[in-house]
Copies of this chain bind each other. A is one copy, B any other.
Amino acid sequence: MNAETPSDSDHGQSAAPSGEPQGGVSRRAVIGWAGAGVALGAAAAGSVAAATLRDSDPAPAAGASVDIPFYSDHQSGIATPVQDRLHFAAFDVTTTSRDALVKMLKEWTKAAAVMTGGREVGAGATGLAEAPPDDTGEALGLPSSRLTLTVGFGPTLFEKSGPDGTTVDRFGLKAKRPEALIDLPKFPHDNLDLARSGGDLCVQACADDPQVAVHAIRNLARIGMGVVNVRWSQLGFGKTSSTTPEAQTPRNLMGFKDGTHNISGSDADALGKHVWVNPGEGPEWMTGGSYLVARRIRMHIETWDRTSLKEQEDVFGRTKREGAPYGKQQERDTPDLKAMPEDSHVRLAHPDSNDGLMILRRGFSFTDGTDGLGRLEAGLFFLAYQRDTRKAFVPLQQRLAGSDKLNEYIQHVGSAHFACPPGIRKPGEWWGQALFG
């Protein structure tokens, strides 16, 4: 099974498959679709007992892909340079057994360490013929693709309204609920689909290859069978914000550059000030963690596309092509907020209009086909991390929902809030250990 087949020898970085256009640099040709999952994954694998190498694939070319370290003080997937694709899942806990939930969180952590290293879950996609494979197999031969898995705990994990209106403390966690993990208020214009909102747990899977992100969520859901159910999930195909502000700013589905002044993932001062929870701020288990707000924002694409360029630029307060703030020439020129319409998105959302308030945005564009009226079901899956939601997303969104000119063209249709604990520092630790321990 480990042999280099004649066909395999065609797949290295240097040899683009014939039939590919000459000089074409597709993702496959460059990273070698043929499984860069071995050597680099192995480099980080030593400490993880459950690791199984994908051993049927040839070694990759050097530098083909680099895994994002799983073990660190903060969870990866927050300050990490934003990957190209997203699969986000919110889960309902269906068991009433605290032990079963803890057992699953331990297994999730182990599987996450393995998958973010580009390796297979458990005994892999093969094993006992009589048993289902431990790993569903569709990522076999693919590198980790910078996969990160970020976990969060929703308000309903701590206390949930029972059928009679009283709150139920299912897992004895009520006293540990952070004050910052509020039930988000209803904002003006919200039109939330409750089936696409909330959740007891969430996992954000980001990777440069969607197959890798989908594989990770699916295998976690599978491990969680009988303990959790997927409540809703969202695939994101194009990042709309960057945590590497020195790189090209991506465009959202309105065609505008978004997140020019996002927090940089390498700016420790800004992260400490705006993103990571400090000691003493709420329960100790959240120190080093962050609060995540997820909002599914539908764009009225067809209406937007019939809107004049001037109106579009007025909505943002930036030019469309260059992304320059009104009255300036270049995207990164310091905005002159007074030169923008008072209800423009950038003016309202800018830190200078909000006492220096900043959130770390990590959103993705989505397109989920077409709705019943033939309109593109598309928009922005907004993800934002912050130190205290009450002092960040909530006042900002109150302001935007009240006045933002953009509201004519968007609608918030899904909403969720999660407390993301700090990182896993070493093998043996598990997601939620300080919360449940």
Contact = CB atoms under 8 A, between A and B. Distances in A.
User: What are the 4 closest A-B residue pairs judged by CB atoms, nearest first?
Assistant: A137-B255, A17-B247, A229-B374, A129-B310
A23 B6 CA distance: 29
Contacts of A301: 218
Interface string A210-245: 110010001001100100011111110110000110
- Report the copy number of this chain in the oligomer: 2
Interface string A198-218: 000000000011110010001
A372 interface: yes
26 contacts: A5-B330, A6-B332, A8-B248, A10-B247, A17-B244, A18-B244, A19-B244, A24-B146, A27-B208, A33-B247, A33-B248, A34-B247, A125-B255, A129-B308, A132-B306, A132-B312, A133-B320, A138-B365, A139-B251, A141-B248, A141-B251, A209-B238, A210-B238, A211-B238, A218-B301, A234-B369
Interface of A: 1, 3, 5-8, 10-11, 17-28, 30-31, 33-35, 56, 63-66, 68, 81, 83-85, 87, 89, 92, 124-133, 135-141, 146, 195, 208-211, 214, 218, 221-222, 225, 229-235, 237-238, 243-244, 246-248, 250-256, 264-266, 301-302, 305-310, 312-313, 319-322, 329-332, 365, 367-370, 372, 374-376, 378
A312 B369 CA distance: 31
A222 B81 contact: no
Given A5-B330, A266-B19, A376-B221, A211 B230 contact: no
Nearest to A54: B321
B322 A56 contact: yes
A194 B138 CA distance: 30
B232 A138 contact: no
A131 B305 CA distance: 10
Given A25-B65, A125-B255, A312 B19 contact: no
Contacts of A129: 308-310, 313
Contact of A369 (B233, B250, B370): B233
Contact of A218 (B20, B131, B313, B376): B376
